[in-house]
């Protein structure tokens, strides 16, 4: 069934490539707005972790479908953020493991996986105002929301940011997989407002988004 934005509360979409600053911006923005923060990448990561933990290779689509059909994927809201729980386990501490970093872009290319994540996001938006970060939030998951942003940064800055977080993450490989996959590749939605964060602080980016949201007609009480 096709859902339209009328079925949903307000959704601010923040898309962009790895380490572009989406998470810090989206989390800070959600706090300012009093909206729930949802990191859609964390759902892809949780699914990837679950598959790896069960010894399922990320190429084995039949086993992936079976595993996901029988998995209980739920979420809870705590501290203004959505947390994914899979088979009653909260995988938060494992979402940025090296092996998850290496496999998540493979797992996220399967339409079945994308459908599960989109359904979760739609469920959330039926009951809460959201700031959702990801790759296809403005283009595919909530195409009718008027509040779309695409956050980018130069490849050098993105690499520095990941290194500063002490993570080993093959950003270039993940970018390639995300931009080139057949289903819901990373694109800039036509009506998205693009922000290059290479030389901006999180606070500056949040301010730019809030200003734009007001111009677009979102009534903001917290600034
Ligand atoms: O934090 P970072 O931007 O590096 O990644 P993430 O948001 O945690 O997303 C991890 C991976 O999940 C991405 O590289 C994509 O392959 C996938 N993803 C996606 O396909 N669609 C989304 N809406 C969000 C994430």
Domain coverage including residue 24: 5-215
Residue 103 placed within a domain: yes
**What residue spans of the chain are helical by DSSP H?**
22-33, 40-53, 61-70, 98-107, 111-127, 155-164, 171-180, 202-215
CB-facing half-sphere around the CA of 222: CA atoms within 13 A:
12
Kindly give the number of the ligand 1 atom that is closest to the alpha carbon of 109: 20
User: What is the per-residue pLDDT across 124-146, written as a single tens digit (0 to 9) for each?
Assistant: 999 999 999 999 999 999 999 99
CB 45 within 8 A of CB 108: no
What pLDDT was estimated at residue 6?
Answer: 83
pTM given for the model? 0.93
Residue 220 lies in a domain: no
Domain for residue 44, yes or no?
Answer: yes
pLDDT level of residue 2 (50, 70, 90 thresholds): low
pLDDT tens-digit profile of 161-193? 888 887 777 888 889 999 999 999 999 999 999
221 in a structural domain: no
Domain assignment present for residue 211? The answer is yes
CA distance linking residue 48 with residue 29, whole number of Å: 27
CA of 186 relative to ligand 1 center, distance in Å:
9
Does residue 222 sit within a domain? Answer: no
Q: What CATH number should be reported for the domain holding residue 140?
A: 3.40.50.300
223 has a pLDDT exceeding 70: no
What is the model's pLDDT at position 66? 95
When divided into structural domains, the chain yields a total of 1
From the CB of 11, is ligand 1 less than 6 Å away? no
The residues near 22 (Cβ < 8 Å, ≥ 6 apart) are 14, 15, 16, 133, 134, 151
CA 205 to chain centre: 18
Average pLDDT, the chain: 93
Query: How much distance in Å is there from the Cα of 134 to the middle of ligand 1?
Result: 6
């Amino acid at each position: 069934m096709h859902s339209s934005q009328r079925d949903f509360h307000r959704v601010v979409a923040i898309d962009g490539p790895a380490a572009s600053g989406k998470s810090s911006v989206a989390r800070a923005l959600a706090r300012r707005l009093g909206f729930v923060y949802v990191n859609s990448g964390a759902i892809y990561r949780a699914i990837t972790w679950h598959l790896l933990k069960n010894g399922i290779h990320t190429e084995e689509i039949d086993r992936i479908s079976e595993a996901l059909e029988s998995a209980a994927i739920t979420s809870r809201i705590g501290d203004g953020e959505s947390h994914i729980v899979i088979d009653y386990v909260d995988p938060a501490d494992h979402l940025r493991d090296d092996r998850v970093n290496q496999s998540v872009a493979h797992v996220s290319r399967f339409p079945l996986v994308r459908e599960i994540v989109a359904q979760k996001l739609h469920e959330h938006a039926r009951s809460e105002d959201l700031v959702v970060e990801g790759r296809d939030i403005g283009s595919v998951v909530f195409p009718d929301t008027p509040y779309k942003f695409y956050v980018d940064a130069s490849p050098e800055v993105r690499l520095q940011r990941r290194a500063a977080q002490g993570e080993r993450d093959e950003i270039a490989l993940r970018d390639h997989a995300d931009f080139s996959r057949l289903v819901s590749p990373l694109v800039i939605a036509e009506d998205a407002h693009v922000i290059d964060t290479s030389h901006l602080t999180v606070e500056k980016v949040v301010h730019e988004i809030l200003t734009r949201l007001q111009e677009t007609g979102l009534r903001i009480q917290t600034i």
